Amino acid sequence: MFGIYLKRELGRRKKAALVIALGLALGIALVITVNSVSAGMTQAQDKVLQSLYGLGTDMTVTKARTAPTSNSSGQPRFEFDAKSNDDDTEQSSDRVMTQGGQALKSSLVTKVADQKGVAAAVGALTLNVTKVDGSFTQGKAQSSTSGSGSGQGGPGGGQGSGSTAAPQVQGGGASFDVNSYSVAGVDVTNQDLGPLAGSKITSGTAFTSAQTNAKVAVVSKSYAKENKYKVGKTLKISGTKYKIIGIATPDSSDSTTDVYLPLKQAQTLADAKNQVTTIYVKATDSQQIDTVKATIQKNISGTTVTTSADLAETVSGSLSTASNLATSVGKWLSIAVLAAAFLVAALLTSSAVSRRVREFGTLKALGWPSRRVTRQVVGESIVNGLLGGALGIALGLGAAYAVTAISPKLTAELGSTGGGGGMGGGPGGGGPGQQSASNTMEIALSAPVSATTIALAVGLAVAGGLIAGAMGGWRASRMRPADALRSVS
């Protein structure tokens, strides 16, 4: 009886049911769209952080670089011979400097790994290599003769036809190219954590655990393409040749490191024996990262511990702006629209009940109790809510698919904060002490829809139907059989 009556009443009031369903559908579709876009923003930010930190890294340990002393400016210095017999001779020089924070002792890696809550810790050394090559060109001394006359000439007192000016050097100079690239020293015994963890080897092979001090290198795909490097060729840094054994392609975005070397080789290049610039840390429990951070800071003084959450705060650009809009304006807008949809559905249902005075009064006169009338109204409202939910899910999925298909490009700029204690301790990431360093990446936005979002939409549809039904049912339960008689004309 309930189902038959429900079907008949919904069929009679198709227009009203459609209006209620559409109102709920718009609110639910907006909720799905905002949630899916927010999830896409989170994924995009994770890609940015993974490209700098490496997959699996929960935090990094660094040390702020101290200000240079009066005797040392900390700037690269190049010296060349410029002898007279070196005309047009090519000269080249590499300047290798540690990049990021102040160097840490390698023994700190073990100390960090022994802290409570730390699953693994790996040290890395980040370097910047500035290569200057070119040649000097010697100038030529030339003299010129000017004027004419019959006066006395030179010292011999002979007759001269002019005077000779002092010789002048013409031509000459120097022409040098400057090329700068980043190098990361990798602990080859644990490559699942550290600067190389965010890339995969797409050509050649990765480092082996036996190559702790081998003269081999892995180069990024972009750097290899730019310099026409291939597996098997050699790369020369500061007079040392390294055999390229692999090409690394980042999983998510442009690589921030150009060349990867075994950690000991990088330490030799930089004259930084048993030193690292960054310690990559993986926590045993991702929910206890703040606790692990506090433990490391307490037990290892003078270091800066940076978590992924800290690093995310330094992300700027259109990605950050869009993310803030999605999390603040977008969510509040969706809540407002959804609340308005619920209110409209409740008011329309209540209005529809008011127009059914004769019907409900007659049913009560025939013996229907108030709870049965209320159940009937609530049942109709829930069906309207489910219809609106189905339509809203379809609209929301369509909007999310459109965003993914268009894939708008967002830029993410990750730079260090000032004061020498900045975030972004990853290789090339503008680590502590680099106040002007930054990385700009371009991320394609997607809008993934999870099962949780669909479940939320269904829950909202049912909630909307219950709210509308509760209001309409309360109105219907208060009607008396006498009301039906008074409404008869």
What is the spatial distance between Cα 197 and Cα 187, in angstroms, rounded to a whole number?
A: 11
Range from 21-25, 147-151, 301-305 carrying the lowest mean pLDDT? 147-151
pLDDT at 428: 39
Question: Contact 191/233 with Cβ under 8 angstroms?
Answer: no
Task: Name the residue type at position 351.
Answer: S
Per-residue pLDDT tens for 155-164?
544 454 555 6
pLDDT at 208: 92
Which whole number is the average pLDDT over 267-294? 89
Element (H, E) at 181: strand 173-186
pLDDT at 115: 92
Range from 42-56, 207-221, 348-362, 459-473 carrying the lowest mean pLDDT? 42-56
Closest-CA residue to 412 (of 319, 282, 275, 288): 319
Per-residue pLDDT tens for 364-415?
777 777 777 777 777 778 888 888 888 889 998 998 899 888 887 766 665 5
Angle, helix 14-53 to helix 2-12, in steps of 10 degrees? 90
Range from 17-21, 66-70, 331-335, 390-394 carrying the lowest mean pLDDT? 66-70
What is the spatial distance between Cα 170 and Cα 184, in angstroms, rounded to a whole number?
A: 45
Per-residue pLDDT tens for 126-172?
998 887 776 666 666 666 655 544 444 445 444 545 556 666 666 66
Quote the pTM value: 0.56
Which whole number is the average pLDDT over 245-254? 78
What is the spatial distance between Cα 244 and Cα 260, in angstroms, rounded to a whole number?
A: 10
b vs e for 408-417, b when ≥16 Cβ sit within 10 Å of the residue's Cβ?
A: eebebbbbbe
Question: Contact 201/248 with Cβ under 8 angstroms?
Answer: yes
Q: Of 38-47, 59-68, 87-96, 452-461, which one has max mean pLDDT? A: 452-461
CA angle 246, 251, 257 (to 5 degrees): 60
Report long-range pairs for 287-291 (Cβ below 8 Å, ≥24 apart).
288/117, 289/58, 289/59, 291/117
SS3 for 249? strand
Residue boundaries of the structural domains of the chain? 2-52+318-486, 64-68+87-132+176-302
Per the listing, tokens 């023994």 go with 107
Higher local confidence (pLDDT), 91 or 269: 269
CA angle 390, 391, 393 (to 5 degrees): 65
